[in-house]
Structure 1
Amino acid sequence: MRRFAFVLVLLSAAYLTPVSARADDLDRRVAEQMHTNAARYGIAGQAVLVRHNGQRLVHAVAGDADIAAHRPVTAQTVFNVYSLAKLLTSTLVMQRVESGDIALDAPASRYLPGLPVRWQAITVRQFLDHASGVPEYFQSRDGVVSTAQGPGLPPTLPAVWAMLDGQPLQFAPGSANRYTQTNYLVLTALLEAQYQQPYARIVEQRILRPLGLQHTWLGPPPSARRDRALGYIGRAGVLQREDDVAWPSYAHGHAALHTTLADLDRFVQAMSRGELVSRSALYGLWQPQALADGRTGGFASGWEYEESGAYREVGHDGGTRVRVRIAFKDGLDGDRYSFIYLTNGSAKNVWSRTLVDSTMALVAPRAFPRQTLTERLITHALQAGGDRDSAALQQWLRTDTGIAASDLEREINRAGYAIRENLGNAAGLEVFQLNTELFPRSANTWDSLAETCAAMGDQRNAARYLARARQLASPAAD
């Protein structure tokens, strides 16, 4: 088993050292949570920063930037943050919307000639919110990127458009969300057409230089930098080295952003304070998109959108490795948290959402009941049978989660699937069994339990539980 080194200062007798000079109870508890996350998921290295109303609550690093060399993560470590690059692109588009130079609901082709014929009526908003229906422009398998034309990526953006020109849309624009990198190729090109400059120069002039982000790069950092976190991936539960994709410059609007925790924090705070887009404009832009059938989409001007308790949450992930989240209540001038959780990979390829949720549950459990519920259920699922206090957990679930009783069964079920994905079927089974005990008359709880048993090869119980689900779903059920 790999030994994890942690850094949070004043706790150096164990494995942890605080980055800040003063260690308090929150430092200690976050350090313990990072240690727990590393043990659960096999995380190589981590960096976490949390703020409340602009005040820094936690700044902690842990583990290794380079496992083979035993080089630890530090406050200066440069991480590949992958698709967090899209937040720069969406911010630049929002600036043009605020200035009146771009209309969100106008066709992107109004501003960008040369798009494939089937894309001509797709709006800027639909590209931003992954509601365009355009196909993905590449595939990735075992770290090898290819297209229908073979290994590697097309040399130029016009070559990408030509390659995609005859392909059908995946769905009618505006009818669904499906995350594709192609959307942000369009937006990157749109910005270049607006400014008549290369994308990298636009980012430099409008974000990096104004904010003083001196340790942030589109594409790989300079070769002289030795403080870069190497990337790792889990294969069959084992942590293995993974090289970064050599993205062409036309892809830098959706990938290959490298930055430090401090620089990323500066960007997040600038967004929250209205330095890049005014708060009044931002509040309108950070509203969830409505799909054609009336459902609420999962994006707001390119930022992932959801709600927890009284808070609205916007942010983005970088695959399984990194995530940024801003939670605000009563507008951006009201109560506000920001969470940044960076890793360079894990053996279980844990969802970055799960890591951020664990921090939110620790820092403000009453403010974020959904995240607190998930973390409690993960702990329950991983405890040995004799160590579980199921009665106490059920009492808490029935009386003290802060989640409406009408939503509780659905939220437990949602957490169960997340736990299955991150920790395996056996852990998920514990949660689904618990849900049937709490909601024995729900067909959905028994159906989820049956599905998990089937995935584990327990066909006998799968059939039994499925029969129970069908009985309860029948109109004749009493």
Structure 2
Amino acid sequence: MIKNITCIAFLISYTITAQTFNKTKIDSLFTLLEANNQGMGSISIYKEGKQVYKNSIGYLDLENTIKANEKTKYRIGSITKTFTATMIMQLVDEKKLSLETLLSDYFPEVSNANKITIEHMLRHRSGLFNLTEDENFMKWMLVPNTRKQMMDRIVKRKVDFQPDEKTTYSNTNYLLLSYIAEEIEGKTYAEILESRIIKPLGLKRTGYGKKINTKDNEALSYVRENSKWKLVENQTDMSVPIGAGSIVSTPTELNSFYTSLFSGKLVSKASLEKMMDTSTGMGIGLGGETFFDKQAYGHNGGIDGFQSLTLYVPEDKITISYMGNGVVMSPNNCIVNVLKSYYDKEYKLPKFDGPIELKTEALDLYLGIYTSESFPFQITITKKDTVLIADAKDGPTFPLVGYTKDGFKSDRAGALLNFHPTENKMILELNGNKATFIRK
């Protein structure tokens, strides 16, 4: 389950119009990605509630050469949180719960439960320890877990900080919210999801995840190692993440869900406005920031090798979802390339040349702390042996590979960094936007 989604705020800078849509250009991008083994997955774009583009590349089952298609299901990881937050806000609308309700009303044994509210958990401001950082997580995530087993792990942990002190992403928040919904409804999370989201929206390929079944057009996941795709054999048992990351879906049905949410079909106007309020760092089940006088909302997800991203831009009424079961080019970077083509901006198809190998002493030219007036993160450039590393303060850390003289990139982060050492300057290209950084 991936933590940081701040960079989604830099994805879109132009309004989509029917005149600028160029399906052939976008098709060319995905043909290139597939031919160069830069990804396997599916994408869908909605405009005003209608699908205007879809595509799938690669295989849902590589061993049996079964190609992915628009109905292929993927594990969506933390995008599940948007579903969970929506169902919690429905309970609030129905006055079965309030945002001020204390965690102690349901689980008083949890540390600080008498201070932590439902809203604190929804906004990741509870201070609760993130269970996915447990030292034994990689072992117990693979087997069925009872609520008691999960609660025992939560109860033994002290809080990391006091409620409402700061925003720090913790999957524990949404696990507990799942249990609270189950307590209120007297149903399992899967049953609540079915009755509150799936049936009302008529979703056919969305649901609570089980063991992956390729015969049901469900994708396995892969990682790229030594120029070959390698199957990710370990599968998280969905009793572990529940409302933090258990859902499977398709890009088309994710777009349908997000479009319905933002059009007011699932929660009240007041609740939707609260969900969209990101003033404390995150919304309720959503992330988003203002840029170029536009606002985008969404969530990303990562689980067992799957990576995904869904975005909604209210001003333009567009929704875009990308799900990957084999990721080299990140979902962020993929979507940026799609949107460059979609908006008919000045655009060249990406090149996938091999990395430039540099000696460790050659990297010293680029080391230092870089700041920018137009970018929210201070970036520290360090090195480890022959690898340059970018560390964004309060943001992601990612290794870089050289692709040209003084130029480095991270396909995972979707970032290009072009250095001008003699000027103590660095130009960051992230999600189709440029920012100039000065070295301190």
TM tier relative to shorter chain: 0.7 to 0.9
The within-5 A match list for 1:77-156 is: 77-110=72-105, 112-139=106-133, 145-146=138-139, 155-156=145-146
Residue of structure 1 equivalent to 2:24: 28
Residue of structure 1 equivalent to 2:278: 288
Kept in 1, the 8 Å contact 2:76–2:301? The answer is: yes
Give the whole-Å Cα distance in 2 for the aligned partners of 1:67 and 1:54.
33
Residue of structure 2 equivalent to 1:42: 38
Partner amino acid, structure 1, of 2:343: A
Query: Which segment drifts farther, 306-315 or 154-163?
Result: 154-163
Kept in 1, the 8 Å contact 2:104–2:110? The answer is: no
Give the whole-Å Cα distance in 1 for the aligned partners of 2:74 and 2:199.
19
Report SS of the residue matched to 1:126: helix
Structure in which a larger fraction of residues adopt strand: 2
* Pairing 1:325–2:320 present: no
* Pairing 1:436–2:420 present: yes
Which structure has the bigger radius of gyration?
A: 1
Give the whole-Å Cα distance in 2 for the aligned partners of 1:440 and 1:55.
48
Kept in 1, the 8 Å contact 2:296–2:312? The answer is: yes
* Pairing 1:343–2:324 present: yes
Q: What's the CA shift for 1:98?
A: 2.7
Residue of structure 2 equivalent to 1:310: 293
Partner amino acid, structure 2, of 1:73: A
* Pairing 1:424–2:400 present: yes
Kept in 1, the 8 Å contact 2:210–2:238? The answer is: no
Residue of structure 1 equivalent to 2:336: 357
Give the whole-Å Cα distance in 1 for the aligned partners of 2:93 and 2:226.
47
Kept in 1, the 8 Å contact 2:42–2:55? The answer is: yes
**Shift in CA distance, 138/410, structure 1 to aligned 2, threshold 3 Å:** closer
Give the whole-Å Cα distance in 2 for the aligned partners of 1:41 and 1:310.
36
Partner amino acid, structure 1, of 2:292: G
Root-mean-square deviation (Å): 3.9
Kept in 1, the 8 Å contact 2:355–2:402? The answer is: no
Q: What's the CA shift for 1:83?
A: 2.1
Residue of structure 2 equivalent to 1:407: 374
- Cα deviations across residues 167-198 of structure 1 (Å, max 9, x unaligned)? 22222332333322211111001111221222
- Could you say which structure has the greater relative contact order, defined with CA pairs below 8 angstroms and 6 or more residues apart? 2
**Shift in CA distance, 103/61, structure 1 to aligned 2, threshold 3 Å:** same
Q: Flag structure 1 segments of 5+ consecutive residues without an equivalent.
A: 1-23, 291-296, 330-334, 367-371, 386-404, 449-467, 474-478
Give the whole-Å Cα distance in 1 for the aligned partners of 2:299 and 2:162.
24
Give the whole-Å Cα distance in 1 for the aligned partners of 2:82 and 2:376.
34
Kept in 2, the 8 Å contact 1:108–1:123? The answer is: yes
Q: What's the CA shift for 1:406?
A: 5.0
**Shift in CA distance, 130/72, structure 1 to aligned 2, threshold 3 Å:** same
Give the whole-Å Cα distance in 1 for the aligned partners of 2:213 and 2:265.
32
The within-5 A match list for 1:192-271 is: 192-220=182-210, 223=213, 225-235=215-225, 238-243=228-233, 245-249=235-239, 251-271=241-261
Kept in 1, the 8 Å contact 2:42–2:251? The answer is: yes
**Shift in CA distance, 40/120, structure 1 to aligned 2, threshold 3 Å:** farther
Report SS of the residue matched to 1:185: helix
Give the whole-Å Cα distance in 1 for the aligned partners of 2:238 and 2:375.
46
Report SS of the residue matched to 1:426: strand
**Shift in CA distance, 129/355, structure 1 to aligned 2, threshold 3 Å:** farther
Give the whole-Å Cα distance in 1 for the aligned partners of 2:301 and 2:190.
20
Q: What's the CA shift for 1:40?
A: 6.2
Partner amino acid, structure 2, of 1:109: S
Q: What's the CA shift for 1:433?
A: 6.8
Kept in 1, the 8 Å contact 2:142–2:237? The answer is: no
Q: What's the CA shift for 1:202?
A: 1.0
Q: What's the CA shift for 1:58?
A: 1.0
* Pairing 1:71–2:45 present: no
Q: What's the CA shift for 1:302?
A: 1.6
Query: Which segment drifts farther, 315-324 or 249-258?
Result: 249-258
Structure in which a larger fraction of residues adopt helix: 1
Report SS of the residue matched to 2:104: helix
Q: What's the CA shift for 1:424?
A: 3.2
Q: What's the CA shift for 1:104?
A: 2.1
Equivalent of 1:162 in 126, 130, 152: 152
Give the whole-Å Cα distance in 2 for the aligned partners of 1:336 and 1:412.
33
Q: What's the CA shift for 1:214?
A: 2.1
Partner amino acid, structure 2, of 1:69: N
Kept in 1, the 8 Å contact 2:21–2:344? The answer is: no
TM-score by length of 1: 0.67
